Amino acid sequence: GIDPGHTEALLYAARILSDSRQFDLAADAFDEVPPDDPQFVEAQLARADAYLEDDRGEEAVATLRALAETHGTLATVQASLGDALRRTEQCEEAIPVYTAALDLVDPTQERYWVLFFTRGICHEMTGDYIASEADFRQALVLNPEQPQVLNNLGYSLVEQRRNLDE
């Protein structure tokens, strides 16, 4: 079998490469972690991040789509795929992925405000202002003072010339 320390060394080296902005080498190193390794998911998420940092968004999306095929029951995988789709301006496709992530968690927990926020951004980008406002407001229920959410909701309402007093 593989040396048990091998994965740790591989991940360590990959992180150093990533920190050194050598994203192509980092992505290759993260991809060396085999699918049966307990840290495979973590390595593939980091590989996708390296691609995103290297302006290789389509490769990040492809990496995360493949990971969602095998590990789609993990909310972090769905959320990361949603983020990559949003960052590559594929909001139409990101919305159901964020919804899938929310379906895998307890959406009343404060830490999941960001899923409502990011899905709200995508709803806004696709012109669904009702759904966008609902998501921004749900994010604020979970995290009432979140400045990014307040800012986005405020701008959205001003652009639509709605609730201007608010």
Only one residue has tokens 């980008």, namely 125
Q: What pLDDT, on a 0 to 100 scale, did the predictor assign at position 1?
A: 46
Q: What pLDDT, on a 0 to 100 scale, did the predictor assign at position 17?
A: 94
In order along its 166 residues, the chain shows pLDDT tens digits of 445 568 888 899 999 999 999 999 999 999 999 999 999 999 999 999 999 999 999 999 999 999 999 999 999 999 999 999 999 999 999 999 999 999 999 999 999 999 999 999 999 999 999 999 999 999 999 999 888 888 888 777 767 665 555 5
Q: What pLDDT, on a 0 to 100 scale, did the predictor assign at position 153?
A: 85
The closest alpha carbon to 21, from 45, 69, 72, 55, belongs to 55
pLDDT tens profile 72-110: 999 999 999 999 999 999 999 999 999 999 999 999 999
The closest alpha carbon to 58, from 32, 27, 33, belongs to 27
Q: What pLDDT, on a 0 to 100 scale, did the predictor assign at position 160?
A: 64
Q: What pLDDT, on a 0 to 100 scale, did the predictor assign at position 161?
A: 63
Q: How far apart are the first and last CA of the chain?
A: 62
Q: What pLDDT, on a 0 to 100 scale, did the predictor assign at position 162?
A: 56
